[in-house]
Structure 1
Amino acid sequence: MRFRHTDAIWSDHPHLAVGALHATGVSRAADVGPRVAEYTARALARLADAPEGRFPEVLAWRRAFARMGLKPTQYRCASESLLRRLRKEGTLPRIHPVVDLCNAVSVAYAVPVAVLDADRVTGPLLEVRHARGDEEYTTFGGGTEHPAPGEVTYADSAGRAHARRWTNRQSGHSAVGDHTSRVFVVVEAVHDGGTDTVAKALRTIARELTEHWRVTPATALLTSSAREFTFSDEPLSGTRAAP
C-alpha cells in the first residue's frame, strides 16, 4: 500500500507536515486508561490557560479550512473538535484502545490524528487529494455521501472516501473496531513548527503501540521532497524506527 498527498495539496499548503504509521497486531486487549489520562491532563492544563481556538495549531487549520472555502467554526479539524469536547466535558469518549490513545495524543499535541482499519482500505494507493465528486463516503450511521468536487479527502483505489473535508470527519467504513488487527495512522499539521510537533506525536503513538501491544510499527515523516509512504501487510517488512 502506498500513501501520499498529491502535488496540489502540498502546493496549496506549504507548511504541511505529515507523519504516517502502520502496525499489525492490535486488539481491544489493552488497558490504556492511565496513558489516556496522562495525555488528556496535559491538554486540560493547556486549556486552562487559553481555549483551543487560540492555539496556533488550531488557528492554522482554521486558516486552511477558510482557504478551502469552508467556515472554520462550522467545520472544525478533528483535534479542535476533540479539544472543544474535552474543555466542555472534561473527558473524551471511549471507543477502542487504539483510538482512545490516538485521540488523547491528538489533544495533547493539538493536531489531527486519523486512525484507519488498514484492512478496510483498498490498495494499492491511498491518496489525500481533491475529490472528483463520485467517491463514496460511508457515515458512522451507515449512510452514503459523496464529497463535493474539489473537497479534500482520503481516497483509496476503489474510489472510497475515508474522510470528509480532509481532517474534519473520518469514515465509518474504515473505523477501528472489534475486528481490527491492522491500523494505519496519519498525523497532520499546517502550523509553523508543525514538523517537530508531528514527529513528537508520531513517536509517542509508536511507543504506546509498542508498549501496549508488543508490535513494531513502521513509521515515516513525509515532506515536500519525500512525499510517499509504502507499507506492507507483513508487520516487520519495511519497518523503520519512529523519528
Structure 2
Amino acid sequence: MRFAHSPQLWRDFPQLVPGVLHAKGIAAEISAEETVRQLCARTAARSAEGGGQESGLPQIQAWRRTFAALGLKPTQYRCAAESLLRRFRKEGSLPRIHPLIDLCNAASLAFAIPVGVFDLARISGDLWVRYADGDEVYETFAGDEERPEPGEVIFADDARRAHARRWTNRQSGHSAVREETGEVLIVAEALHETAPGEMAELMDVLTDALRTDWSVTPCSAVLTPAAPAFEL
C-alpha cells in the first residue's frame, strides 16, 4: 500500500508538510490516558499564555488561508484541529472515543495540526490526497453517502472511495477506527512556516506513545516534494 499526495497538490501547496505513521497491533483495551492528559495540559498552558483564541495560531491561520484558496469559507469549514481546539476551549475537555483516537485528538490539540486516523482494513489499494473528480463515494458517520464536489481535496483509495472530504475538514465513517481495528495509518498535515520541525516532533510523540502504551513499533516519515510517498 502506498500513501501520497498528488503532484497537483504539491504544485499548488509547496509549503505542505505531511507526517505519516503506520502501526499494527492496535487494541481498544489499552489506556493512553496519561499521555492524553499531558498533551491536554500542554494545550491548556498554551491557551492561557496566548489568550485562548485558536484563530490566532499560525498553524490554524495557514489552514484558513488554504481553505480560502480552495474556495471554502474558513469560518464555515474548519480544519479538524481548529474544530477540536474550539471544543476544548469551550468545554475544557474532549469526549473519550477510542484510546488511539483520544491520543491523536490530544496530539492535534497540542500541536494545532490536523491528525487523521484510518483503519487500513477499510481502505482498498493505495490512498491518495488529490482533487476529486466528483464521482467518488463518501460515507458519513451516520451511514449516508455523498459525492464530493469536483475539484474538492479528498483522500481517495483505488476503489474511488473518499475517506475524507475538504482535505482536513471531515473524515469518513467508513474507515474510522473501531473496536476491532488492528492496523492504522495516521496522517498529519501542516502548512505553516515552522511546520517541518513541529511535524517531526509530533511524529516522535505519537511513536513514543504507541511504543509505551500499545507496545508496538510503528514506522513513520515526514514527506517532502522530493520524497512524497510513504510505502507500507
- State the partner residue of 2:116: 114
- State the partner residue of 1:9: 9
3-state SS in 1 of match to 2:156: strand
- State the partner residue of 1:75: 77
3-state SS in 1 of match to 2:155: strand
- State the partner residue of 1:21: 21
Structure 1 unaligned spans of 5+: 232-243
CA RMSD of the aligned region, Å?
A: 0.7
- State the partner residue of 1:234: none
- State the partner residue of 1:227: 228
Structure 2 unaligned spans of 5+: none
Q: CA deviation at 1:93?
A: 1.4
**Aligned partners of 2:24 and 2:100: how far apart in 1?**
12
Structure 2 counterpart of 1:81, one-letter code: S
3-state SS in 2 of match to 1:57: helix
Structure 2 counterpart of 1:77, one-letter code: C
Q: CA deviation at 1:44?
A: 1.3
User: Matched residues, percent identical?
Assistant: 53
Cα-to-partner distance string for 1:163-214 (whole Å, 9 max, x where unaligned): 0100000000000011100010001100001111111111111110111111
Instruction: Map 1:132-147 onto structure 2 (within 5 A).
Output: 132-147=133-148
- State the partner residue of 2:199: 198
- Contact kept, 8 Å, 2:67 with 2:73, in 1: the verdict is yes
- Contact kept, 8 Å, 2:155 with 2:163, in 1: the verdict is yes
Q: CA deviation at 1:223?
A: 0.1
**Aligned partners of 2:95 and 2:203: how far apart in 1?**
21
- State the partner residue of 1:86: 88
**Aligned partners of 1:122 and 1:195: how far apart in 2?**
30
3-state SS in 2 of match to 1:14: coil
Q: CA deviation at 1:221?
A: 1.1
Structure 2 counterpart of 1:189, one-letter code: A
- State the partner residue of 2:41: 41
**Aligned partners of 1:187 and 1:118: how far apart in 2?**
16
3-state SS in 2 of match to 1:162: strand
3-state SS in 1 of match to 2:3: strand
Alignment length, in residue pairs?
230
Q: CA deviation at 1:47?
A: 1.6
**Aligned partners of 2:31 and 2:217: how far apart in 1?**
18
3-state SS in 2 of match to 1:59: helix
3-state SS in 2 of match to 1:132: coil
Structure 2 counterpart of 1:114, one-letter code: G
3-state SS in 2 of match to 1:150: coil
**Aligned partners of 1:72 and 1:47: how far apart in 2?**
21
**Aligned partners of 1:212 and 1:134: how far apart in 2?**
40
Cα-to-partner distance string for 1:109-143 (whole Å, 9 max, x where unaligned): 000001010111111x1000000001100000000
- Contact kept, 8 Å, 2:28 with 2:180, in 1: the verdict is no
**Aligned partners of 1:29 and 1:95: how far apart in 2?**
12
**Aligned partners of 2:38 and 2:143: how far apart in 1?**
34
Structure 2 counterpart of 1:25, one-letter code: G
3-state SS in 1 of match to 2:45: helix
3-state SS in 1 of match to 2:84: helix
Q: CA deviation at 1:34?
A: 1.7
- State the partner residue of 1:180: 181
Structure 2 counterpart of 1:107, one-letter code: L
Q: CA deviation at 1:216?
A: 0.9
- State the partner residue of 1:163: 164
TM-score (norm 1): 0.93
Structure 2 counterpart of 1:27, one-letter code: A
**Aligned partners of 2:178 and 2:95: how far apart in 1?**
14
3-state SS in 2 of match to 1:116: strand
**Aligned partners of 2:88 and 2:178: how far apart in 1?**
22
